[in-house]
Amino acid sequence: MAVAEPSPSLFARPLGAVEHNPTALKVILGGKLRELRVAAGLDPSHVDSKLGFSRSKTSRIELGRHGCKPSDAAALLGLYGVDDDVQVTEFMRLLEQSRRPDWWRSYSDVLSDFFAPLVALEGAASTIRTYEPFYVPGLLQTPAYTRAVVQSGPGHLLAHEVHRRVELRQERQRQLDNGDGPRLWALIDESVLMRIVGGERVMRAQLEHLVAMMQRPRVTLQIAPLDVTASVGVGTGLTYLRFAPGDLKDAVYIEHLTDSTFTQKPRIVEQYRDMLDRLGACALTPRHSLETIRERLARL
C-alpha cells in the first residue's frame, strides 16, 4: 500500500526564531493570506463582501497591522481553497502564536511610536546591519553609556523614565544572546570614538565593551574613517534588517531629528543596502578597527 505524501507547507521555509516574534508572524501571515487571495483571483473588496467583513478589513489583515481572529482566518482559508487539514492546522497554530503579547509592549510608556517598528522586528532578523554617525549603536551600548545618551536628549526626563529606557535597550541587546538570534554588523563613524559621552570613565568602559563584543563570532564591527563617511555620504543613522529568505521582506529604519522612516519597499531598501555595502567596503577591516579602538583606549 502506497504511503501518502506529506502535505506541502504553505510557507517557503521553516520560520524558526520568527515564530517567537508575534509582530513578524502577523506580517508573514497577512502576506500569506494576500498571496492566497491573489492566486484565487479575488479582489480585497470582493472578499470583504463575500465574507461580510467591514470595508477594507481584508486589506488590514493582509498588512499585518492588527491580529486576525481564528474565525476570520478559517473563513479566508476556506474561501481561498485551502482545505488540507495539515496546512490549516499549521496556519492556525502560527496564528495563535501571533496573538501573544510582544515583550516590548510592556515598555510602551517609554517607547516612541516611530521607534516601535524597529524594536518589534529586529529580533526576527537573521542579520542586523547598522550605521551610527554620533553614538555607539544601541545594541552595543553599556548601561552607563545609554544613560548618558538618554539624559543628553531633548526634554526633561524623570529618573524612572531614564531607567526604563536604559532597561529597554538592555532587553533589546539580550536578543543577540539567543542561539538563533540575529547577527550584528555595525559600522561606526570614527568621530564616535572621539566623542566623550558620560565622562572618561563611562567612555573607557564603553570602548572596553566594544573590544569584548568584537570577540563574538556573530558580531562584526567596523570603524568608518572621517574621509570615508564624507565621501559615501550616509549622513544619518540607519538600521537594515535582513531576514532569512522566505516570507518576510527586508526592512530599513532611517533616523531623523524627531522621527524616523521604517520601510520595506524594495526600491528604498535596496538603495540603503547599497549604501551600507559601499561604506563597509571603504571602512577599516574588523582587525584594524579593533586596533583603532585599543589605540583610543590607550589615550583615555
**pLDDT tens digits, 28-70:** 999 999 999 999 999 999 999 999 999 899 999 998 877 789 9
pTM of the model: 0.88
Domains of the chain as residue ranges with CATH? 17-98 (1.10.260.40), 104-299 (3.30.870)
Q: How high is the pLDDT of residue 1?
A: 40
Indicate whether 233 pLDDT > 80.
no
How many helices (H) does the chain have, and how many strands (E)? Answer: 13, 6
CB of 175 within 8 A of CB of 20?
A: no
Residue where the block lists cell 498571496: 35
Place 7 in a pLDDT band, splitting at 50, 70 and 90. low
Q: Distance between CA 170 and CA 166 in Å, rounded?
A: 6
Q: Is the pLDDT of residue 158 over 50?
A: yes
At 168, give phi and psi (nearest 5°): -60, -45
Q: Which of 261, 262, 234 is nearest to 250 (CA)?
A: 262
